[in-house]
């Protein structure tokens, strides 16, 4: 080997082998393999490998940076439609791929050079220079990323995806097979190239992911819009598996990137989860409607339950549902029965969603609170419980007895089903037994709205009394049935009073038949009485009425009959209550009516005497004039009585046409009033018992603020079985007293009026 080397020749040789090093870019013929190996030995001899390599790389880098990449990005400009974008993108990819391929032979040589002469070194951390080239491309591309690049990529994939989605339809009609094939071809080719360049994930990944997410979202929205009566979860799952995932696979799993298989699998799991989440969110937004349509919307609920298990949306659900309940249910515009219906539906549907009952507890909390603030809740519950036409609550009552679980005892059922036992969710209040939550049935939940059975039972008692005293039928079979059902739920002792009430009705019937046999009694008109055990009925409204002497006579006879039948007992008549069948004979017509005792008494008095002054009649009947006037309105509407002068009423037997016209205009005042004293009145009476305490207090201490009075009452008067009285209630009571001039309120202090002390 000669030590003398011709440097010029060597450089020329190197330039020939690596044309990129030649500045004067004149086209030369391809170097032969022989020349290549010769060059290698020259490089080795001169120890130039490192330098040559760096030079080559720098040149390549510059070339990519300065000409290829800007050209590549120049494809990414705003386009008019998706189709244009589709083709632009594929052209861009083609271009960059060609550029890449152009370096093929150069990098093959570089690889050999690297391997032979620089076994230890690597290029940018890659042993294979081709990998390094990929890296170079990637880095340079991303370093010059224009803003709008995403649009074009998105266009490309939207077109491809919509092709994919429509394939079934296209197949079916055999339509546009040509163009579709065309698209598909370009699509798969582009993806292959992207994969080869290792550009798929860096360039496309983000866009693709968000595109797929939107697609899933849109699909879910479209699929389950406003229809709750069938399950969509499996349909959606299959859609994901048959449409989206294969499509993804065609993108990712070409021959160059078999490693991506695993990534796609992982992505699939992620997508499935996203699908559940999206679906659950859609359903949660519709949840209120789902609840309202409850038995029909069961499939939707089942879907949601499955989704909830897989996602973490419980808190979202609670928040959303509470909000929609507040805006759609809990406002004054909704009637109480409607709220109750919705409440029952939500109890039932929440039970489907979450057997542990925690969800139910949280969601229905505001409903509870709201129902508590409505006066007619209990009444509505009770009346719907005992309504004749079937409704949810009545069904629930008939269905069976409440299971009252002992809080500490583990029931047998629990012990048997221990394998199925599920712990409470983490949010659960550990102080409360899960048994109670799990077993609570609808009626006991409704009752617990008020916190006590007593109130509920009392309301039922009032309702029952009302019904018994308004119908006056002795047919109590249905009532007895309901009572028995309620007894199963609330226990015998609570409903004992109601039992006595029903027995009174039955007894009254028996007594009636007994008394009807008394001879002197049967001479007169037919009379019967509801004989009540006053202690067991709710307080009856106390109104005075002096009935017509004829009636009084008959009543006395009836009382006598009763006294004969039942030793040492007598009757006290509630004259104003009852119902009378009456026939009124008029010269030109006959009236058959069913009216109240007050009305009958009025007309009977007019039978005796044709003209009555209001005062006079009021004195005779012992009814206040205002009420009497109202009651007379009833007869006025029949045209029987006319107010000829102010406060002077006159009987009219024959109607002239003109009168009848006037009469028909009088509004009929025949409201059905409850025979019971209202709950408010009763409460007031209870508070009245404290009045003596309060006067005593104020007598001694002159004047006191509200809080002090309440405190002192708490200390002395509220002991024992008396009912607790809230500050609010006391204030109302005292304010009422102020209005009645029994108290003076000034400067935040209550005082007895001066005159009161003086007298």
In the complex, the residues that contact other proteins under the rule CB under 8 A are 469, 472, 496, 499-500, 503, 507, 525-537, 540, 551, 554-555, 559, 562, 566, 568-575, 577-586, 597, 600, 603-604, 606-607, 640, 651, 653, 675
Q: Is 559 helix (H, G, I), strand (E, B) or coil?
A: helix
Sequence-ordered list of residues with C-beta below 8 angstroms from that of 577, at least 6 positions apart, any chain? 469, 540, 597, 675
Length of the chain: 759
The upper half-sphere exposure of residue 586, i.e. CA atoms within 13 Å in the direction of its Cβ, equals 18
CA distance 682 to 679: 5
- CB 386, min distance to other proteins, A: 22
Q: How far is the CB of 352 from other proteins (least distance, A)?
A: 42
Query: Minimum distance from CB of 349 to other proteins (Å)?
Result: 42
State the minimum distance, in angstroms, from the CB of residue 635 to other proteins.
Answer: 11
CB atoms within 10 A of CB 7: 10
Nearer to other proteins, 122 or 470 (CB): 470
Q: Which is nearer to other proteins, 170 or 604 (CB)?
A: 604
* Letter string b/e over residues 577-588, b meaning 16 or more CB atoms within 10 A of that residue's CB: bbebeeeeeeee
Nearest residue (CB) to other proteins, 556 versus 699: 556
Burial of residue 745, with CB atoms counted within 10 A of its CB: 0-12 exposed, 13-18 middle, 19 or more buried: middle
The two three-digit tokens of residue 74, written as one number: 């120049």
Angle between helices 49-63 and 33-46 in degrees, nearest 10: 120
Between 611 and 653, CB nearer to other proteins = 653
- Residue whose CB is less far from other proteins, 489 or 576: 576
Cβ closest to other proteins, residue 217 vs residue 507? 507
- Paired tokens of 592: 């058959």
Instruction: Give dist(CA 484, CA 160) in Å, integer.
Output: 70
CB of residue 528 vs other proteins: minimum separation in angstroms? 5
CB closer to other proteins out of 264 and 500: 500
Q: How far is the CB of 720 from other proteins (least distance, A)?
A: 14
Residues 636, 638, 641, 643, Cα dihedral to 10°: 30
CB of 654 to other proteins, least distance (A): 10
Nearest approach, Cβ of residue 589 and other proteins (Å): 11
Q: Between 85 and 578, name the residue whose CB sits nearer to other proteins.
A: 578
CB of 562 to other proteins, least distance (A): 7
CA 3 to chain centre: 94
Q: State the pairing for strand pair 703-705/749-751.
A: antiparallel
Question: Cα–Cα distances in Å, from 730 out to 691, 698, 701, 718?
Answer: 11, 15, 18, 12
Between residues 180 and 686, which has the closer beta carbon with respect to other proteins? 686
3-class SS at 21? Answer: helix
Residue 678 Cβ vs other proteins, minimum distance, rounded to whole Å: 18
Please tell me the distance from the alpha carbon of residue 308 to that of residue 289, in angstroms, as a whole number.
Answer: 18
User: Cβ closer to other proteins: 438 or 509?
Assistant: 509
Residues 586 and 576: their CA atoms lie apart, in Å, by 26
């Amino acid at each position: 080997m000669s030590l003398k080397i011709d440097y010029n020749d060597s450089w020329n040789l190197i330039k020939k082998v690596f044309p990129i090093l030649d500045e004067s870019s004149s086209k030369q013929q391809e170097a032969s393999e022989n020349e290549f190996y010769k060059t290698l030995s020259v490089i080795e001899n001169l120890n130039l490998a490192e330098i040559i390599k760096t030079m080559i790389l720098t040149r390549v880098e510059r070339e990519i940076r300065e000409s290829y990449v800007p050209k590549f990005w120049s494809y990414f400009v705003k386009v008019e439609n998706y189709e244009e974008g589709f083709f632009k993108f594929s052209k861009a990819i083609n271009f960059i791929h060609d550029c890449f391929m152009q370096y093929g032979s150069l990098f093959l040589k570089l690889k050999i050079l690297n391997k032979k002469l620089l076994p230890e070194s690597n290029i940018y951390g890659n042993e294979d220079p081709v990998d390094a080239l990929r890296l170079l491309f990637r880095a340079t591309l991303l370093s010059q990323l224009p803003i709008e690049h995403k649009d074009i990529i998105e266009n490309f994939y939207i077109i491809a995806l919509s092709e994919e989605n429509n394939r079934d339809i296209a197949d079916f009609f055999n339509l546009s097979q040509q163009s579709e094939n065309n698209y598909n071809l370009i699509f798969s080719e582009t993806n292959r190239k992207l994969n080869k360049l290792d550009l798929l994930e860096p360039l496309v990944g983000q866009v693709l992911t968000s595109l797929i997410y939107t697609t899933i979202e849109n699909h879910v929205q479209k699929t389950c819009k406003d229809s709750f009566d069938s399950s969509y979860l499996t349909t959606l799952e299959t859609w994901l598996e048959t449409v989206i995932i294969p499509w993804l696979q065609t993108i990712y799993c070409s021959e160059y990137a078999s490693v991506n298989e695993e990534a796609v699998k992982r992505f699939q799991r992620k997508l499935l989860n996203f699908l559940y989440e999206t679906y659950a969110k859609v359903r949660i937004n519709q949840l209120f409607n789902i609840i309202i349509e409850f038995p029909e919307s069961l499939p939707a609920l089942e879907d949601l339950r499955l989704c909830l298990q897989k996602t973490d949306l419980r808190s979202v659900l609670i928040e959303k549902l509470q909000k929609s309940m507040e805006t759609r249910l809990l406002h004054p515009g909704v009637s109480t029965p409607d709220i109750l219906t919705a409440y029952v539906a939500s109890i039932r549907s929440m039970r489907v969603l979450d057997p542990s009952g925690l969800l139910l507890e949280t969601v229905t909390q505001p409903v509870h609170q709201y129902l508590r603030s409505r006066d007619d809740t209990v009444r509505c519950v009770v009346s719907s419980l005992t309504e004749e036409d079937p409704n949810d609550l009545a069904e629930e009552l008939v269905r069976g007895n409440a299971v009252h679980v002992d809080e500490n005892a583990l029931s047998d059922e629990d012990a048997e089903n221990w394998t199925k036992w599920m712990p409470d969710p983490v949010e659960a209040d550990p102080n409360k037994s899960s048994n109670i939550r799990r077993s609570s049935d609808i009626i006991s939940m409704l009752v617990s709205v008020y916190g006590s059975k007593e109130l509920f039972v009392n309301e039922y008692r009032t309702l029952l009394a009302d019904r018994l005293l308004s119908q006056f039928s002795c047919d109590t079979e249905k009532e007895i049935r309901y009572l028995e059902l309620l007894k199963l739920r609330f226990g015998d002792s609570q409903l004992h009073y109601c039992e006595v009430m029903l027995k009174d009705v039955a007894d009254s019937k028996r007594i009636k038949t007994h008394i009807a046999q008394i001879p002197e009694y049967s001479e007169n008109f037919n009379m019967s009485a509801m004989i009540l055990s006053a202690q067991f009925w709710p307080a009856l409204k106390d109104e005075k009425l002096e009935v017509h002497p004829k009636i009084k006579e008959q009543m006395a006879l009836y009382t006598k009959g009763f006294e004969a039948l039942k030793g040492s007992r007598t009757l006290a008549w509630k004259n104003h209550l009852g119902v009378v069948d009456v026939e009124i004979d008029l010269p030109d017509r006959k009236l058959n009516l069913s009216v109240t005792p007050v009305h009958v008494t009025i007309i009977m008095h007019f039978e005796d005497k044709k003209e009555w002054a209001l005062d006079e009649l009021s004195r005779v009947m012992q009814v206040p004039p205002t009420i009497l006037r109202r009651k007379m309105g009833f007869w006025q509407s029949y045209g029987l009585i006319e107010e000829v002068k102010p406060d002077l009423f006159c009987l009219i037997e024959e109607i002239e046409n003109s009168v009848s016209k006037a009469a028909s205009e009088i509004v009929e005042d025949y409201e059905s009033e409850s025979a019971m004293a209202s709950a408010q009145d009763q409460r007031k009476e209870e508070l009245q018992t404290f009045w003596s305490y309060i006067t005593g207090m104020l007598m001694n201490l002159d004047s006191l603020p509200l809080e002090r009075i309440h405190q002192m009452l708490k200390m002395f008067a509220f002991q024992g079985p008396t009912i607790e009285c809230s500050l609010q209630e006391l204030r109302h009571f005292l304010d009422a007293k102020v209005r009645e001039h029994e108290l003076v309120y000034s400067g935040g202090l209550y005082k007895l009026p001066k005159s009161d002390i003086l007298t």
